[in-house]
């Protein structure tokens, strides 16, 4: 399988749902994601990363956050963290949602190309599309490449936790429960 990205807008399967994404500082394609999805600019995109080192390049990571990352990632957990000043300066995000997907293809893309801003493949507010054929038909003319799924994925969005304060705040529950997360956070 050939993995090429470099400043491209792509659709690819993750361990949860199909994602549409581009490199984190690719301003032109970031705007395209918002336009294609009819998404409000007030709703930031999540950032998929290859490993803890990539997360630490773009976000503030303390020991509690590190425990969550090493326990639940790769996996279906998105953590909202304070963005590094470089991220705020380049894309305007003061906080950033980060996740390491449990998908060979997604990890290969991230290893080769660095962190990617992503969103689920759907019209904003609608359910994510899970069929490769539907995605090609609906979005094929808007992106540079669409990768077919080679692994199973859950089709359930990740759990999203805000870690920017001393206590955790659940923003969306997915397959990982807040109780399990709190057990690790409160060690």
Segment 148-173 shows an average pLDDT of: 86
Task: Output the pLDDT for position 130.
Answer: 85
Residue ranges in the chain assigned as alpha helix (H): 27-37, 52-58, 63-72, 85-91, 104-113, 132-139, 178-185
The two structure tokens encoding residue 33: 């994601």
Q: What is the pTM of this model?
A: 0.91
**Interval 39-83: pLDDT, tens:** 999 999 999 999 999 999 999 999 999 999 999 999 999 999 999
Helix (H) / strand (E) containing 18: strand 18-23
**Domains of the chain in sequence order:** 10-185 (3.90.870.10)
Confidence of residue 7 (pLDDT cuts 50, 70, 90): low
**pLDDT tier for residue 150 given thresholds of 50, 70 and 90:** confident
Position 1 pLDDT exceeds 60:
no
The percent of residues in the chain predicted with pLDDT above 90, rounded, is 78
* Separation CA 25–CA 46 (nearest Å): 13
Instruction: Give 5's pLDDT tier (boundaries 50, 70, 90).
Output: low
Per-residue three-class SS string for 119-131? EECCCCCCCCCCC
């Amino acid at each position: 399988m050939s993995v090429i990205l470099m400043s491209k807008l792509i659709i690819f399967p993750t361990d949860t749902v199909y994602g549409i994404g581009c490199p984190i500082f690719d301003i032109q394609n970031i705007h395209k994601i918002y336009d294609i999805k009819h998404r409000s600019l007030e709703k930031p995109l999540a950032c998929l990363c290859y490993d803890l080192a990539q997360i630490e390049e773009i976000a503030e990571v303390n020991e509690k956050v590190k425990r969550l990352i090493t326990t639940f990632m790769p996996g279906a957990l998105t953590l909202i963290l304070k963005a590094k000043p470089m991220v705020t300066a380049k894309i305007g995000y003061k906080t950033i949602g980060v996740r390491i997907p449990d998908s060979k293809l997604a990890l290969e893309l991230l290893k080769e190309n660095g962190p990617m801003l992503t969103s689920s493949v759907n019209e904003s507010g609608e359910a994510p599309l899970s069929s490769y054929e539907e995605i090609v038909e609906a979005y094929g003319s808007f992106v540079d490449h669409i990768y077919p799924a080679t692994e199973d994925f859950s089709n359930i969005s990740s759990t999203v936790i805000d870690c920017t304060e001393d206590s955790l705040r659940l923003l969306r529950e997915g397959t990982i429960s807040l109780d399990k997360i709190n057990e690790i956070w409160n060690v």
